[in-house]
Amino acid sequence: MLQVLQDAEKAETFRISIETPALIAAEARVWEAAAAPAPAIPEEDMLAPILKEFELSPTAMQNYLKCRLSFYYRNILRIPQSRSEYASFGSAVHDALNAFFTGFSREQRLPDPGYLLEHFKKGMLRYRDGFTEAGFERRLKQGEDLLPDYLEARKESFGLETRTLLEYQVRTRLGDAPITGKMDKVVIDGHSARVCDYKTGDPSKGKDKLKPLKIADGEWHTWGEYWLQLAFYQILTRHSGETAWQADTFEIDFVQPDARGNYPAARLNFTHADIEAVETKIREVYAAIQRREFAPGCGKNDCEWCKFARQYRFDTAPAEVETEEELNNP
């Protein structure tokens, strides 16, 4: 028996009777709609070559750990996705910084802020499709305001970065698992190196993403997304076969000011146990992917992939599209 108070002022009460079996059936339908569906798996001769070529990157691993179902559509089938405004802005900033350091290495002197802004504007136009008209103007102004400030805050340390590798891609293996990752910048100093990743999000929101791994009852409990990304980079550089230098510092560089107007940079250290835990998880995740473990979904329903899974039918091979790494690593 369910009571519904329809009008508080009149304080009238309506009584609605629902037969128990009907209630149970309705509840079952709600649960059915909420539960993550099984992924649509294509013919083996279509899936096997994709899995054979698959390489695990930090973004792919993070996606798998968050939700296997959405990982399957994004990283295995590579269903085309539109680039968000946030990612488009981040890509424009990354491109501008890349051009800035390329200019520095060519001219052997730091380019001026105008050079950085010129390349930022070019980047914004390159990724124009990711913005609404108002969003484009807002983000353009944001970049024009913050980039000269950021450069001013970093110019002394940037001036010392005379040997850099930009968009440094590593492809290697960890046991059976092929692993890959593209680092925004590697600053080499003698035999040591600092790996740096730019982030264009709010630094205060980035704090949680820097938190180290917590293991509870032998399971991964919580970990920060940036922490995992940098730990993964450490593993990549160790297994890269590079002998001229060794990466010993791993840094997240925020290209946005915090509440005090500073541009923070966070350097993370990893213990032997951290690296061992991440290496073990890399092997486990890769093996699970090869076993085609793409379910269940996380059930959090914070994306559209469950809806997509209920509708998607195979009739063509997945298209060649930009990778998840390229789309979502601003």
Residues of this chain that bind ligand SF4 (CB under 6 A) = 36, 67, 69-70, 297-303, 305-306
Q: Which residue has the tokens 């269940």?
A: 296
Closest CB to ligand SF4 among 153 and 295? 295
The one-character DSSP state at 291 is: T
- What distance lies between CA 129 and its chain's CA centroid? 20
Q: Which residues pair with 78 in a beta bridge?
A: none
What is the closest distance, in whole angstroms, from the C-beta atom of residue 71 to ligand SF4 in the complex? 9
Cα distances (angstroms) measured from residue 200 to each of 46, 85, 90, 208, 254: 37, 12, 6, 15, 6
User: What are the tokens at 326?
Assistant: 């390229």
Q: How far is the CB of 286 from ligand SF4 (least distance, A)?
A: 20
Question: Measured from the CB atom, is 245 or 312 closer to ligand SF4?
Answer: 312
Which residue, 240 or 301, is less far from ligand SF4 as judged by CB?
Answer: 301
Euclidean distance between CA atoms 306 and 298, whole angstroms: 10
Closest distance to ligand SF4 from the beta carbon of 305 (Å): 4
Nearer to ligand SF4, 37 or 181 (CB): 37
- Dist. CA 141–CA 2, nearest whole Å: 55
Indicate the residue among 67 and 151 with the shorter CB distance to ligand SF4: 67
Chain residue at closest Cβ approach to ligand SF4: 297
Distance of CA 187 to the CA centre of its chain: 22
Q: Which lies closer to ligand SF4 via its Cβ, residue 196 or residue 306?
A: 306
State the nearest-atom distance from the C-beta of 312 to ligand SF4, in Å. 12
Least Å distance between CB 294 and ligand SF4? 10
CA-nearest of 151, 152, 121 to 139 is 121
* Kind of pairing between the strands at 192-199 and 214-216: unpaired
Minimum distance from CB of 208 to ligand SF4 (Å)?
19
